[in-house]
Chain A
Amino acid sequence: MSSSSVVSLIKVKQNPKRKKNTKNALPSPIQNFPRKFHLFYQSPTLKNLPNAKFHQITLNNQTPKSLSLHKSQMSGPSLMDSLFQRTLEDLIKGLRQQLIGEQAFISKALEEIRKEIKSTDLSTKSTALLKLCYLSNLHFHDMSFAAFHALEVLSSPRFSHKKIAYHAISLSFHDSTPVLLLITNHLRKDLTSTNEFEVSLSLQCLSRIANVDLARDLTPEVFTLLSSNKLYVRKRAVAVVLRVFEKYPDSVRVCFKRLVENLENYDPQILSAVVGVFSELACKDPRSYLPLAPEFYKILVDSKSNWISIKVLKIFAKLAPLEPRLANRVVEPICDLMRKTGAKSLLFECVRTVVTSFSEYESAVRLAVEKIREFLVDEDPNLKYLGLHALSIVASKHLWVVSENKEVLIKSLSDPDPNIKIESLRLVMAMVSEHNVAEISKVLVNYALKSDPLFCNEILGSILSTCSRNVYEIIVDFDWYVSLLGEMSRIPHCQMGEEIENQFIDIGLRVKDVRPELVRVARDLLIDPALLGNSFLHRVLSAAAWVSGEYVEFSRNPLEFMEALLQPRTSLLPPSIMAIYIQSAFKVLVFCLHTCFVRGGSTAGVSASASYESFDDLSVENGADSTVAHGQTCTSAPITNESIVNLLKLVELALSPLLGSHDVEVQERARNLLGFVDLIKLEALNSSGQEENDSERKGVEATKIIRLVHDAFSKELGPVSLTAQGKVPVPDGLTLNENLGDLETICGDIELPSSNTFSFGYPSEEKDVSSFSNLQIKEDSGQLNESTSLLAEHRKRHGLYYLPSGKSEVISNDYPPANDPALQGDNNDNASDLVKLTAESLVPKRKPNHSKPRPVVVKLDEVDEKPVAVKQLESRDDSLSGAVRDILFGSEDILPTSSRSNLPNSNRKGKKKQHMITQVESKENVVDDGNSSSRRRKDHSHGKERRHRKKNAEERNETDRKEKESSSNHPRRHKSRQRAEEPLKVPPQTSVIPDFLL
């Protein structure tokens, strides 16, 4: 058998005339079958490797005739090509057994295909095309070069060729394929074919490749198919119409009515297709489809098929929020469905519909929640996941549901499935409020300790983002939160260093009361040498170092800090963080010296510091709290001269190697610090060992320097509003370069600051400025005083760009910023602002069980306000929904006359609209123009007419009825609706939603 088929194959290839004959003999294109295909399917015995085939052919050619034929054809390359063409199966087999490597094999195969596809023989061509499809589909090789060849194959009368061609086209064509224009006529021909399979193929293809032109040109054909009496074709046409609408919205005017008519079809397949189309359409613009609600309602109540019910539920999920009366009607059937159905997919759809769109119907939600709980405790991970998913939808409106299921949620945090874990984590975070944040965070951190790195960071990330939401809205006890941050950064897998760093600094800047605890946490982090080895923690450590330097006055033992900051393992840090460490060490050192000499000295009665003391007292009055705390901390850590000497030695020891650092930043800071140490050592240390008188003189020098530097450091940094710079008025006479193009070349490689709500002005940088000025202090100490007072002046004048918090209190603990009498009043203003702020933030939130009040969190009003999502859900008023609306809202009048004319004419429609209601009766008598309407459709339109008339009559009572409706209780209405379930009795529905049928 195989040999005979091969013989026939040879002949087919050789004799084009004969092929023509075949064509004549078999007029039906489907019956013409490619031999190639036949060979492929039918001859598994035939070895498809080229060698084997060749062997068999030579055997066959023993008959002289075929031999001669063979010889005569040897000259034509196309024959050889087609004879020895690999079939798809050869290709696949070859690909699986190849020894030369897949890529090499494929490129060889592609080469062959390129040759074969140019053949004039359609069988060869189509086989080549099929092979190309295979390679394109599964090995992702470009097949755009074959676009025209695919079209050629498409023109074949044979069904199998067409099938391959359509397959190739829908696989490879896209909007910019140049030959797309040429396909229109092929499609049109096949759409009107008598063979339903051909129609189906072309519909399928159209759904995939349709562009505006194709959709426009083929709309009439699709329209005809919409009422085809072959169900198989019709349902496909219905499905494809969606794509046509999308591409060419004007087609809505033509096809929409027929689509709607199909809604009333009783065939479940058609119905399923139509409902599918409407559920897609309704997703995009639900409002346009409200008038069809009665039809959908009927389907919902009548439907026996779960597929259809799911789709209808989707439609109602979109429609119900738009029309409360509709929701009233629909909610009960949905609940019924939820109770009765055994199919989980339908059940889930009911649940989802209820929780998304019927969340104000208490009983329905309760039922849904019951079902959700069943899902949650189910063994099947799918149901569990979906249950959690549904719960997260409910969570936005009914938080109680989530807390009711807390145990399940917490349990599923340790589920083996990462998706379930993440989903339940989201839910747990949704539960968080200021009352339970501590408890939940504790549980979560425990989970984070146990879980894998990925999920651990997921947990930490969500804790961090939840807690910092809206400027730490839910945090009351910041001491707790700061220690939580410290705890979190110690979790082995923690990779959230950057976020924790930001929050440490942010909280330090914003919340004054938490600073002592912050310093304590920072100390714990800094002191632990093990942490330095973890590169993920470096960012946290840099924040801790910054905190230790900035708020060192709250520290119990500053010397400890110095040791921690200068410990040998800091060499493991990257240079940028190393620089922060050194800078912080500088600050701590200055503080220590200041405490030792200036404060200690002042009690010894150093006259020079007496004047400052008075300012100290002044500041004590302003910021009693912090000063008291400050005083305590200072006394608890006695700093003696001896310890200072050790300290200076330590600094020298630790930093001298860094003088040769390759990093400029590190090197410079180290040099600064060492220079300062040298200076102090010269001045102070000598004095400490000498006689009292001697020391008094020299000590004055030293304390002066120390005081100045300390003064520079004690300027507190505050958060700066991102928009602050914009508020600065442009001075007169300032001409700015219009074109900043040259700036770009300069700053090209500088990274833009990340879009934080704050620009912290990188702590180290600001310090850099001040430390730079330190060098100058030696020469001109008066300059600093001047600059501080200038700063204060500026602050007074442009107070609005500064933070309203009373940060000057802290500053003035040691040294007042300037001799500015107005400062006092300024402070009072600030204080009153603070009071107001406190009142605002505390009154609504404060709970009686809070042992201590929530500390003030400094906010910059204009920046911290959460940017309101400007995105509004605008109803897409595009042409598609516009067209649909035209049809549905404007044309219910036309519906009765739908049998008259199918071709759209918006002008005519507009005219019709006005007279329609009065003309309804007369129009009914208008004879069909027989355009394409069937008997059935006519009947149908009459049905519509009847309903329409009935409704007109009812319209008079409408208002009364509506009032009755609103007062009547639900059960009774449902009963009446149940009775109305027979498809013909539409009036009850129309009466409830009267305007939908208008």
Chain B
Amino acid sequence: MIHFVLLISRQGKVRLTKWYSPYSQKERTKVIRELSGLILTRGPKLCNFVEWRGLRVVYKRYASLYFCMCIDEDDNELEILEIIHHYVEVLDRYFGSVCELDLIYNFHKAYFILDELLIAGELQEPSKRTVTRLVAAQDSLVETAKEQTSSITNIIAQAAK
């Protein structure tokens, strides 16, 4: 299973963390410090796997962001790489050529998408289209509710009270 997902920028700024195994706040900070030291120092064109505390961290760099997932020793590393890529593609679809700023300002969105993709540390939805559809469906629920409340008649009605 996946123990946690981290997004770290090249400067070592954390952009997203998602923990599927219990880690206390202190441990989390430590884990991130250790891993960013381990991963950010690795040059390009090296393999994407790092052994760490008896676990394995699979990372991949997209532009200035490192996507890292920590898995058990006997999990399939290539599969995790595919999951990472999958996630990036979904993000890309959702934001339309995603960039780091999208993730910075919509950090909760990135979480919600990740939640659609993974649950309890397992890949849940292997179809990009479905994920996009599901996220869009939830967004549209939000949209319709908003439209109803913000439509002018509504406002007037509210104001009249």
Given A15-B161, A92-B104, A280-B1, answer yes or no on A307-B145 (Cβ-Cβ < 8 Å): no
Q: Which of A158-166, A294-302, A741-749 contacts B (4 or more CB under 8 A)?
A: A158-166
Whether the pair A307, B124 counts as a contact (CB closer than 8 A) is no
User: Is A974 part of the binding interface, using a Cβ–Cβ cutoff of 8 Å?
Assistant: no
User: Is A276 part of the binding interface, using a Cβ–Cβ cutoff of 8 Å?
Assistant: yes
Inside 8 A of A163's CB, which chain B residues have their CB?
112, 138
User: Is B25 part of the binding interface, using a Cβ–Cβ cutoff of 8 Å?
Assistant: yes
- Inter-chain CA distance A232–B133, complex, in Å, is 12
Write the chain B residue with the least CB distance to A130: B108
Q: How far is the CB of B25 from chain A (nearest CB, A)?
A: 6
User: Is A811 part of the binding interface, using a Cβ–Cβ cutoff of 8 Å?
Assistant: no
Q: Which residues of chain B from 92 to 140 have a CB within 8 Å of any chain A CB? A: 104-105, 107-108, 111-112, 115, 119-120, 122-127, 134, 137-138
Whether the pair B45, A89 counts as a contact (CB closer than 8 A) is no
Q: How far is the CB of A437 from chain B (nearest CB, A)?
A: 27
Write the chain A residue with the least CB distance to B24: A174
Given A31-B145, A164-B108, A236-B119, answer yes or no on A419-B126 (Cβ-Cβ < 8 Å): no
Inside 8 A of A603's CB, which chain B residues have their CB?
none
Q: Which of A1-9, A531-539, A591-599, A790-798 contacts B (4 or more CB under 8 A)?
A: A1-9
Inside 8 A of A134's CB, which chain B residues have their CB?
107-108
Count chain A CB atoms within 10 A of each CB in B16, B74, B144, B150 and give the residue with the most.
B150
Whether the pair B17, A138 counts as a contact (CB closer than 8 A) is yes
Whether the pair A386, B78 counts as a contact (CB closer than 8 A) is yes
User: Is A257 part of the binding interface, using a Cβ–Cβ cutoff of 8 Å?
Assistant: no
Given A31-B144, A137-B16, A175-B22, answer yes or no on A344-B78 (Cβ-Cβ < 8 Å): yes
Q: How far is the CB of A262 from chain B (nearest CB, A)?
A: 14
**In the complex, which of the residues A7, A32, A138, A167 contacts B155, with contact meaning CB atoms closer than 8 Å?**
A7
**In the complex, which of the residues B14, B24, B78 contacts A382, with contact meaning CB atoms closer than 8 Å?**
B78
Inside 8 A of A8's CB, which chain B residues have their CB?
149-150, 155, 158
Whether the pair B122, A32 counts as a contact (CB closer than 8 A) is no
Interface string of B45-62 (1 = CB under 8 A from A): 111111100000000000
Given A8-B155, A174-B22, answer yes or no on A159-B81 (Cβ-Cβ < 8 Å): no
Given A240-B120, A419-B51, answer yes or no on A32-B145 (Cβ-Cβ < 8 Å): yes
- Inter-chain CA distance A37–B146, complex, in Å, is 9
Whether the pair B148, A26 counts as a contact (CB closer than 8 A) is yes
Whether the pair A348, B76 counts as a contact (CB closer than 8 A) is yes
Inside 8 A of B10's CB, which chain A residues have their CB?
none
| Interface residues on chain B, size class | 35 or more
Whether the pair A240, B161 counts as a contact (CB closer than 8 A) is no
Q: How far is the CB of B136 from chain A (nearest CB, A)?
A: 12
User: Is A140 part of the binding interface, using a Cβ–Cβ cutoff of 8 Å?
Assistant: yes
- Inter-chain CA distance A41–B25, complex, in Å, is 30
Inside 8 A of A854's CB, which chain B residues have their CB?
none
Whether the pair A33, B120 counts as a contact (CB closer than 8 A) is no
Whether the pair B142, A345 counts as a contact (CB closer than 8 A) is no
Whether the pair B15, A138 counts as a contact (CB closer than 8 A) is yes
Whether the pair A22, B149 counts as a contact (CB closer than 8 A) is yes
Q: How far is the CB of B32 from chain A (nearest CB, A)?
A: 8
Inside 8 A of A280's CB, which chain B residues have their CB?
1, 122
- Inter-chain CA distance A384–B48, complex, in Å, is 11
Inside 8 A of A130's CB, which chain B residues have their CB?
108
Inside 8 A of A293's CB, which chain B residues have their CB?
none
User: Is A35 part of the binding interface, using a Cβ–Cβ cutoff of 8 Å?
Assistant: yes
Whether the pair A31, B141 counts as a contact (CB closer than 8 A) is yes
Whether the pair A42, B146 counts as a contact (CB closer than 8 A) is yes
Inside 8 A of B28's CB, which chain A residues have their CB?
140
Inside 8 A of B144's CB, which chain A residues have their CB?
31
User: Is A420 part of the binding interface, using a Cβ–Cβ cutoff of 8 Å?
Assistant: yes
Write the chain B residue with the least CB distance to A241: B120
Whether the pair B46, A381 counts as a contact (CB closer than 8 A) is yes
Whether the pair A314, B74 counts as a contact (CB closer than 8 A) is yes
**In the complex, which of the residues B72, B81, B149 contacts A38, with contact meaning CB atoms closer than 8 Å?**
B149
Q: How far is the CB of A280 from chain B (nearest CB, A)?
A: 6
- Inter-chain CA distance A142–B46, complex, in Å, is 36
Write the chain A residue with the least CB distance to B13: A138
Given A236-B119, A280-B1, answer yes or no on A419-B142 (Cβ-Cβ < 8 Å): no
Whether the pair A38, B161 counts as a contact (CB closer than 8 A) is no
Inside 8 A of B123's CB, which chain A residues have their CB?
272, 276, 307
Given A92-B105, A140-B28, A416-B43, answer yes or no on A197-B124 (Cβ-Cβ < 8 Å): no
Whether the pair B146, A33 counts as a contact (CB closer than 8 A) is yes
Whether the pair B158, A133 counts as a contact (CB closer than 8 A) is no
User: Is A18 part of the binding interface, using a Cβ–Cβ cutoff of 8 Å?
Assistant: yes
Whether the pair B120, A207 counts as a contact (CB closer than 8 A) is yes
Whether the pair B14, A138 counts as a contact (CB closer than 8 A) is yes
Whether the pair A208, B20 counts as a contact (CB closer than 8 A) is yes
Write the chain A residue with the least CB distance to B60: A382
Inside 8 A of A207's CB, which chain B residues have their CB?
119-120
Inside 8 A of B142's CB, which chain A residues have their CB?
30, 33, 37, 41, 159-160
Chain B residues at the A interface, C-beta cutoff of 8 Å = 1, 13-17, 19-20, 22, 24-25, 28-29, 43, 45-51, 72, 74, 76-79, 81-82, 104-105, 107-108, 111-112, 115, 119-120, 122-127, 134, 137-138, 141-142, 144-146, 148-150, 152, 155, 158-159, 161
8 nearest A-B pairs in the assembled complex, by CB-CB distance: A33-B145, A345-B78, A381-B47, A207-B120, A31-B145, A385-B47, A417-B46, A38-B146
Q: List 14 contacting pairs A-B, 8 Å CB cutoff, sorted by A.
A: A4-B152, A7-B159, A17-B161, A22-B158, A30-B145, A159-B145, A160-B142, A239-B120, A273-B122, A276-B123, A352-B76, A381-B45, A416-B43, A418-B46
Given contacts A22-B158, A236-B119, 18 further A-B contacts (CB under 8 A): A4-B152, A8-B155, A11-B158, A26-B148, A133-B108, A138-B14, A197-B137, A197-B141, A235-B124, A305-B126, A307-B79, A310-B79, A314-B76, A348-B76, A348-B78, A349-B79, A385-B49, A420-B47
Chain A residues at the B interface, C-beta cutoff of 8 Å = 4-5, 7-8, 11-12, 15, 17-18, 21-22, 26, 30-33, 35, 37-38, 41-42, 65, 88-89, 92, 96, 130, 133-134, 136-138, 140, 142, 158-160, 163-164, 167, 171, 174-175, 197, 203-204, 207-208, 232, 235-236, 239-240, 242-243, 268-269, 272-273, 276-277, 280, 283, 305, 307, 310, 314, 344-345, 348-349, 352, 381-382, 384-386, 416-420
